[in-house]
């Protein structure tokens, strides 16, 4: 479509030629004629001087030299607008339907007409598959497990028996839902006896889980991931963990057993949560932080043990100066 037509759909203001036809997307440093790109982070603003893109999504406040006179589409939030465009395009693409062979679907399991089951998938007894859901090849859906409507389970996803996936969820390749929690009791012989894990996992609506992330079943009751929460790749959620709604967790985060995390938290990569603690709402926790105890609401934390992010930054400055300070101290002796 033309730049003008696109701008009208996204309520943008065109600064340049609105009649140019767009045919694709690209990163700003790689874009070519006919492609749309965007600038959301100011550190990429200088690419406006060299990009070959036909149009660039920018904020309404964007102010930078534009010697190429590339056409700008000014919007309130370029990144959010790009996401809106991409979602609309993805929604317009045809979805897979039908059942590929060979696969195993237990007798009595009904597959909706608009659903898709890929080759070599296994769907156990009593499982439920919602309307419009897509089960890609080599997925495993255990006995009594349920998959909601309009879900996507990419190749190799495993959903153990009894676990529940809500509506509009996306599980990427290698996700394991419902593996046994890490429960072992020491015995008199110095070894460990397995404590059977009899609970389930409940994934609420609109959750997305990245590749090779695992969510363990509860010892009793359920491990829960709340509505709208997003888990990155390579995350470990232990047994009986309860995660609230609209959280985002970056890769390699680990959450130990029975920890409760509230709503709307932003968690950086490689953060470790101790077990049996409580974390409130609207917190921001920096990458590689360790959380050994309870956290309230609205905090910005970093480090191990995690402290206020500003305090952590000051401590780093002090630590970096230790060698210099010791030299000065020794020189005075």
Residue 92 has a pLDDT of 86
The sign one gets for the Cα dihedral 22, 95, 228, 213 is negative
- Residue 81: the pLDDT is 95
Q: Identify the pLDDT of residue 237.
A: 98
Burial class for 102, CB neighbours closer than 10 Å (0-12, 13-18, 19+): exposed
Cα–Cα nearest to 109, from 145, 139, 136, 149: 145
| Structure confidence at residue 259 (pLDDT) | 98
- Average pLDDT per 10 consecutive residues for the chain, totaling 333 residues: 94 95 94 95 93 95 90 95 91 91 97 97 98 98 98 98 98 98 95 96 98 97 98 98 98 98 98 98 97 97 92 86 84 79
Q: Tens digit of pLDDT for each residue in 23-63?
A: 999 999 999 999 999 999 999 999 999 999 999 999 999 99
E strand or H helix that includes residue 81: helix 78-92
Relative to beta strand 176-179, strand 214-216 is parallel
Q: Taking a C-beta distance cutoff of 8 angstroms, is the pair 283, 301 a contact?
A: yes
Sheet with 200-203: list strands edge to edge.
Answer: 128-129, 146-147, 164-165, 200-203, 222-225, 242-243, 260-261, 278-279
The active-site residue out of 46, 239, 276, 282 is 239
Task: Choose the CATH number for 175-312 among 3.30.413.10, 2.160.10.10, 2.40.110.10, 3.40.190.10.
Answer: 2.160.10.10
Q: Strands 71-75, 13-15: parallel, antiparallel or unpaired by DSSP?
A: antiparallel
Ranges of each domain in the chain = 3-92, 175-312
What is the distance between the alpha carbons of residues 121 and 4, in angstroms, rounded to a whole number?
45
Reported as type and span, the H/E element at residue 310 is helix 309-320
Residues 279-288: contacts with CB within 8 Å, 24+ apart? 281/244, 284/309, 286/312, 287/250
**Catalytic (active site) residue 239:** yes
Residue-level pLDDT at 174: 98
Q: Strand runs (DSSP E) across 172-240, as ranges? A: 176-179, 184-186, 192-194, 200-203, 208-209, 214-216, 222-225, 230-231, 236-237
Class of domain 3-92: alpha beta
Q: What is the pLDDT of residue 117?
A: 98
| CA 227 – CA 169 distance, rounded (Å) | 9
List phi, psi (to 5°) of 104. -120, 125
Between CA 130 and CA 154 the distance in angstroms is 15
Token pair for residue 327? 């030299």
Nearest alpha-carbon partner for 101 in 83, 82, 122, 87: 122
């Amino acid at each position: 479509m033309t730049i003008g037509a696109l701008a009208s759909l996204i309520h943008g203001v065109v600064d340049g030629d609105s009649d140019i036809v767009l045919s694709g997307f690209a990163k700003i440093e790689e874009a070519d004629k006919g492609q749309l790109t965007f600038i959301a982070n100011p550190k990429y603003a200088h690419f406006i001087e060299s990009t070959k893109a036909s149009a660039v999504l920018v904020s309404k406040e964007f102010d930078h030299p534009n010697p190429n006179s590339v056409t700008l589409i000014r919007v309130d939030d370029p990144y959010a607008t790009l996401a809106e465009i991409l979602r609309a395009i993805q929604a317009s693409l045809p979805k897979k339907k039908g059942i590929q062979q060979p696969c195993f679907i237990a007798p009595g399991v009904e597959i909706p007409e608009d659903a898709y089951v890929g080759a070599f998938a296994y769907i156990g007894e009593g499982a439920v598959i919602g309307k419009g859901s897509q089960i890609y090849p080599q997925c495993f859906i255990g006995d009594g497990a349920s998959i909601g409507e309009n879900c996507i389970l990419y190749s190799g996803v495993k959903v153990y028996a009894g676990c529940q996936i809500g509506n509009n969820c996306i599980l990427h390749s290698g996700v394991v839902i419902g593996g046994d929690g890490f429960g072992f009791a020491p015995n008199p012989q110095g070894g460990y006896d397995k404590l059977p894990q009899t609970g389930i996992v409940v994934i609420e609506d609109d959750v997305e889980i990245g590749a090779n992330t695992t969510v363990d079943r509860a010892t009793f009751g359920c491990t829960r991931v709340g509505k709208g929460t997003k888990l990155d790749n390579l995350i470990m959620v232990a047994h009986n963990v309860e995660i609230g709604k609209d959280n985002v967790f970056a890769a390699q985060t680990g959450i130990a057993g029975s920890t409760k995390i509230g709503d709307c938290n932003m968690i950086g990569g490689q953060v470790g949560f101790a077990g049996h603690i409580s974390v409130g709402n609207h917190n921001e926790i920096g990458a590689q932080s360790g959380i050994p105890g309870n956290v309230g609401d609205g905090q910005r934390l970093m480090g191990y043990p995690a402290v206020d992010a500003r305090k952590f930054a000051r401590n780093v400055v002090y630590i970096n100066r230790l060698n210099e300070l010791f030299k000065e101290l020794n020189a005075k002796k």
